[in-house]
Amino acid sequence: MSELAKTYDPSAIEPKWYKTWLDEKAFHAEAPAPDAPEQNPETYSIVIPPPNVTGMLHMGHVLDNTLQDICIRRARLEGKLTVWQPGTDHAGIATQTKVERIVRETEGKTRRDLGREEFLKRVWAFREENGGIILNQLQRLGASCDWDRTSFTLDPHYAKAVLRSFVELYKRGYIYRGRRMVNWCPKSLTALSDEEVIMKPQNGWLYKMRYELVEASTGLDGVHRTHLEISTTRPETLMGDSAVAVHPDDPRYAHLIGKCVWRPFPRAQIPIVADKAVDIAFGTGCLKVTPAHDRTDFEIGQRHNLPVIDVLNPDGTLNALAGAEFDGMDRFDARKKAAAKLEEMGLLVEREKYSNNVGFSERADVPIEPRLSEQWFLRYPKVEEAKRAVTSGAIKFFPQRWEKTYLHWLENIQDWCISRQLWWGHRIPVWYRKGVSEAERDYANPMHVHVSENGPADPENWDQEEDVLDTWASSNLWPFANFGWPDFEGVTRKEFDLFYPTNVLVTSFDIIFFWVARMIMSALELVGEAKESLTDEEIARRVPFRHVFIHSLIRDEQGRKMSKSLGNSPDPLDLIARFGADGVRFGIVNIAPSGSDIFFSEPRIEIGRNFSNKLWNASRFRQMSGPVGDNQSLQAICARIDPARLDLFDHWILSRMVETSAAVERVFETYEMQAMTQALYAFFWGDFCDWYVEASKAKLQGEAAQTTLAVQDLVIRQTLLLLHPLMPHITEELWHQLGYIAEGQQFIQQTRIPTPQALKDALAKVGASIDDTAAATAQNINEMIGKLRSMKADYNLGSRRDVKFQYVADDAKAAIVEEDKDTILRLAGAATLDRANAQPEGAPAGITPLCTAYLDLLGSVDVEAERVRLSKELEKLDKAIAGAKARLSNEKFVASAPAAVVQGAKDQMAANEEKKAEIERLLASFQS
RNA sequence: GGGCGCAUAGCUCAGUUGGUUAGAGCGCCUGCCUUACAAGCAGGAUGUCACAAGUUCAAGUCUUGUUGUGCCCACCA
């Protein structure tokens, strides 16, 4: 134990301890060996939401992983066998796009220039180089993951699980091939799921144009028409129009149904069809139908057998079907050109500014195209059970309101397009027979299509499906694939039984659909025997986690999302360098409300750094106050307490310690982590440092010194244990510096954190039970000291220490004041505090819970100022008394309120009236 | 269009099942380098708890409505 430095320097402490923890495998846990005495220890497990393998740590990761680490480290302190499973996600589109860009920039080549095999080599090489970065960054944050278990979604064991899940779901009829409208990203050149499409309001134009009727005619409304007027935001696709639709009940057009209009270019007759999807009230009530390029239009087309005319290439340029003049043109250029051409032809009626929602590709950030294509789809399994998992309570969301979001999504669930036209990912384990064309392929015929984990026995006769799986179709196996599923062998089965289901999933709401719901459904379907439906008991056994802790998103100070392009995302490593990992952890949790979004602000992170320093200095003071005795256990410290020497302040701080321990314990029932930082901050800084330590300074010279130091050691010990999950490094360092480490133990985490009851019991055992009355009296003394300080400040004597006070009190209270006079003098900064029998002449007075105190101004009191001050106080009291009186005189209140509340009001009023009388007396004395 | 939140001090937010005179941090003002800590200490000012009605002995807290604001979902061209 060396002397601590004056200012805490985390850079010296944090890496040192992290390295030691790693070297000693402090975070590693595994199932007990078969011959171990304890075969079924209490366990606690979490799987990390795997970050993208090439990702960089951002503030969202900091919050998410700090919260997980808090849960994990607390579980260790509770003596549980604890596993935090780390790993990374291959992140199909994100990673592939990144490497494609690098290849393009450095070699001027596309992935197709390189070919699939060569390109994948580049991605693996890139992953080799960058794949560990984010994990190292998590280590710098202090994350206590079991790194020996680090997993990657393309590892062989994981790939096996992914293939197994595909084959099983296929066999059970959940996966099928279909030709459907999908969301197509013209930049990434792949299909996307609905969840990967972000709707954004866009300012554009609504074009109103005319389609010439083949035969002009008069409608039921008496209007003679030669044209139909149609509104569209996308004139560039009109070449793909194969009909115009009207509502069947629309009197304006009913007579035209079955007739034709001229599509202007390429000029062709297209029919007018009736369909209820048309909104009579929108625009003119006529809808041009482009089945290839709009979902609704596609459905209308299906109902009316309309041809699908695809005028777009996969990359978003127009093709030859759009006509020679548009062939090869970008879709947005084509929009202008099509509008111009309509205008030339005299068919453009008007163009008005218009704002509508357009779907954008989440990754590439370009407008997606609805596109008809052949894809693999998943009909979600166990949807009903997934709802029941939550409604039955097998899975609980915190905060609970997210359950509604989850259930609502399940109510409206659509089949999931799981194939991606990418190379980086799990290649779909389907093989097509060579020589059988796509047109004649029969998916039910095993001679045409082969689906298995290992492929056909005669691979030379088959071609494997080119597509890979959506990344989320592999990451949804994360909670069970990492604990040995599907082929449990030896000890992994035991591990699975011990660590699955995991206790809690910690994540933010934006991936409830992407990941959380899908994990639940896949677990319900795949963990255990194949079954049509599940009972509540089976659901409870299969779910991947018991709790889902949803935390908020971190935004910048103006409430904007953090993004690279805005440059508003602080670099966590920079913050860690300046404030320490513990400081950043404390700071970010301290500003993270459970409900709404978090507005990041650096000054608020500084609080964490400041708190670290406070903790450090309080420990330093302890070290300087006297030699550290036996601190190796709760019992050893308690044994150093002489119960006869415990004073009011000791009882008070011990009682606050127990209360704070209970408050922190409650936090882990609801995951309201912010409450933990607030409770610990208020207790350690506000109660312990500001009051207890200051009050005990005098005693350190006296006979009670040993007991006082033992109480300090006890409080600091409990604080370190309570704080360790949040601030692991500094607490570990202080644990060792102050001699808390027990014989034969290496780390703080090996200590069982005492429960509030255990603390009380340990104290009781040495005859030092906490005396609540004494604690309350100490509180009164604190209030009295506050009053004395305030009186000094009012007379500009705040910094003087030679101030003289007198007081008037009854004998009982005077005894208390006399008993603790030294402490009061010291903390109030006064020279004397003498008991007087009557009010001294012309001295300003203050009413305290224990006495009326008078400040000796040596005759120089400003009478007028004093009167103003007292009048103000009197006013406050009058208000309080009037309120209490009104209530107490109300019979209904006295009759129906709980007795304690009524009594409280009475006591309060009595005390206030006493105070009031005192003030009135003082005021009167100034009148004379 | 449907759903979910939020609205409390200048700022960011706490405020348990309704129950004394509504709190914290930051910022601001005053005074302190008081021997652990200036990343600190002491003191101080600032609130029609968005608005309106209702329930109740009692409402920041519960109910309804209004306004403002944020987010999620949805095929109005």
* Nearest residue, CA→C1' of B6: A596
Does residue A879 carry a pLDDT above 90?
no
Percent helix, percent strand, percent coil in chain A, to nearest 5: 50, 20, 35
Instruction: Kindly provide the residue ranges of all beta strands, DSSP E only, lying in A86-218, ordered along the sequence.
Output: 87-88, 151-152, 175-185, 190-192, 197-218
What nucleotide is nearest A399 when CA is compared to C1'?
B5
Q: How far is the CA of A896 from the C1' of B63 (A)?
A: 22
Q: Which nucleotides of B are covered by protein (CB under 7 A)?
A: 3-6, 12-15, 19-21, 24-27, 30-34, 36-44, 56-58, 70, 72-77
Grade residue A159 by pLDDT with cuts at 50, 70 and 90: very high
Classify A528 in phi/psi space as left (phi over 0), alpha (psi -120 to 50) or beta: left
SS3 state at A177: strand
Classify residue A415 by burial, with Cβ atoms within 10 Å: 0-12, 13-18, 19+.
Answer: middle
At residue A80, the pLDDT reads: 96
- What span, in angstroms and rounded, lies between the C-alpha atoms of A706 and A626? 9
**Does residue A72 contact residue A46 with C-beta atoms inside 8 Å?**
yes
Q: Distance between CA atoms of A345 and A824, rounded to whole angstroms?
A: 96
A36 strand B contact, CB < 7 Å: no
d(CA A69, CA A48) in angstroms, rounded, equals 10
Given the DSSP bridges, would you call strands A197-218 and A260-263 parallel, antiparallel or unpaired? antiparallel
Q: How does strand A554-555 pair with strand A598-599?
A: parallel
Please list the residues that pair with A43 across neighbouring strands: A81
- Give residue A523's pLDDT: 96
Mean pLDDT in residue range A647-665: 92
**Nearest to residue A292, comparing CAs of A243, A251, A245, A337?**
A243
Q: Environment class of residue A899 by beta-carbon count within 10 Å: exposed (0-12), middle (13-18) or buried (19+)? A: exposed
pLDDT at A672 over 60: yes
d(CA A251, CA A426): 55
How far the first Cα of chain A sits from its last, in Å, is 65
Q: What is the 3-state secondary structure (H, E, C) of A524-537?
A: HHHCCCCCCCCCHH
Q: How far is CA A16 from the centre of its chain?
A: 29
CB of A789 under 7 A from strand B? yes
pLDDT of amino acid A3: 67
Q: Region A343-361: what's the mean pLDDT? A: 87
Identify any residues that bridge with A269 across adjacent strands, giving them in sequence order.
A262
Helix axes A59-77, A133-141, angle to 10 degrees: 60
Tell me, rounded to whole angstroms, the distance of Cα A862 from its chain centroid. Answer: 57
DSSP state of A457: S
Taking CA atoms, A460 is separated from A167, A426, A427, A441, A457, in Å, by: 21, 21, 18, 18, 9
pLDDT at A474: 95
Give the residue-averaged pLDDT of A792-819.
86
Phi, psi of A198 (to 5 degrees): -105, 125
- The DSSP annotation for A680-725 comes to HHIIIIIIIIIIIIHHHTTGGGSTTHHHHHHHHHHHHHHHHHHHTT
DSSP assignment letter at A467: -
Cα-trace Rg, chain A: 37
Q: Cα–Cα distances in Å, from A203 out to A206, A233, A353, A370, A815? A: 10, 10, 7, 20, 79
Identify the residue whose Cα has the smallest distance to the C1' of B21. Answer: A880
Query: What whole-number percentage of chain A has pLDDT above 90?
Result: 51
- CB of A253 within 8 A of CB of A286? yes
pLDDT of residue A564: 67
Distance A142 CA to B46 C1' (A): 41
Q: What's the token pair of residue A779?
A: 């509180």
A111: three-class secondary structure by DSSP:
helix
Picking from A432, A417, A528, A550, the residue whose alpha carbon sits closest to that of residue A473 is: A417
**Residue A341 host element (H or E):** helix A331-344
Among all chains, which residue has been given the structure tokens 């693996």?
A124
* List of A residues 354-393 with CB within 7 A of strand B: 356-357
Per-residue model confidence as pLDDT tens digits over A33-82: 888 888 889 999 999 999 999 888 888 899 999 999 999 999 999 999 99
A8 CB neighbours strand B below 7 A: yes
pLDDT tens per residue across span A422-444? 999 999 999 999 988 988 999 98
Q: Are A377 and A416 in contact (CB under 8 A)?
A: yes
- Please, what sign has the CA dihedral across residues A479, A482, A486, A492? negative
pLDDT of A928 > 60? The answer is no
Determine the Cα angle at A153 with ends A152 and A155, to 5°: 65
Kindly report each contact of residues A479-482 with a partner whose C-beta sits within 8 Å and lies 24 or more positions away, as own/partner. Answer: A479/A47, A479/A505, A479/A519, A479/A523, A479/A544, A479/A545, A480/A161, A480/A523, A480/A526, A480/A527, A480/A544, A481/A157, A481/A158, A481/A161, A481/A162, A482/A47, A482/A85, A482/A87, A482/A149, A482/A151, A482/A158
pLDDT band per the 50, 70, 90 thresholds, residue A860: low
Classify A156 as helix, strand or coil.
helix
How many whole angstroms separate alpha carbon A809 and alpha carbon A790?
19
- Name the residues in A815-834 having a C-beta closer than 7 Å to nucleic acid strand B: 829
Task: Using the predicted structure, report yes or no on whether residue A540 has a pLDDT greater than 90.
Answer: yes
pLDDT at A10: 93
| Helix (H/G/I), strand (E/B), else coil: A243 | strand
Using C1' positions and the CA of A685, the closest nucleotide is B37
- CA A817, CA A785: separation in Å to the nearest integer? 11
Q: With a 7 Å cutoff on the CB, does A780 touch strand B?
A: no
Cβ atoms of residues A163 and A429 within 8 Å: yes
CA atoms within 13 A on the CB side of A666: 11
> What per-residue string of b and e applies to A180-212 under the rule 16 or more CB within 10 Å gives b?
bbbbbbbbbebbbbebbbeeeeeeebebbbbbb
Among candidate residues A666, A669, A691, the one with its CA nearest the CA of residue A678: A666
- What does pLDDT average to over chain A? 89
Percentage of chain A surpassing pLDDT 70?
A: 97
Residues 887-916 in A having a C-beta less than 7 A from any atom of strand B are 887, 890, 892-893, 896-898, 901, 904-905, 908, 911-912
Q: Residue A594's pLDDT is what?
A: 65
Q: What letter does residue A238 receive in the DSSP assignment?
A: G
**Span A771-790, pLDDT tens digits:** 988 998 998 899 899 989 98
For the segment 484-513 of chain A, residues whose CB is within 7 A of strand B: 510, 513
**Range with top average pLDDT, A30-39, A301-310, A522-531:** A522-531
Is the pLDDT score of A2 beyond 70? Answer: no
With the CA atoms of A160, A162, A165 and A167 taken in that order, what torsion angle do they form, in degrees rounded to the nearest 10? -70
pLDDT digits (tens, 9 = 90+) for A366-423: 999 999 899 999 999 999 999 999 999 999 998 888 888 899 889 888 899 999 999 9
Nucleotide of closest approach to A882 (CA, C1'): B21
> Which residues, 6+ apart, have CB-to-CB distance to A365 below 8 Å?
none
**If you ran DSSP here, which 8-state letter would residue A513 be given?**
I
**Exposure of A781 by Cβ count < 10 A (0-12 exposed, 13-18 middle, 19+ buried)?**
buried
Prediction pTM value: 0.92
The reply to whether A5 has its C-beta less than 7 Å from any atom of strand B is no
pLDDT beyond 60 at A859:
no
Task: Give me the pLDDT at residue A425, please.
Answer: 94
| Strand B contact at CB of residue A281, distance < 7 A | yes
pLDDT, tens only, A470-499? 999 999 999 999 999 998 877 788 899 999
DSSP one-letter string for A562-581: P-TTTT----HHHHHHHH-H
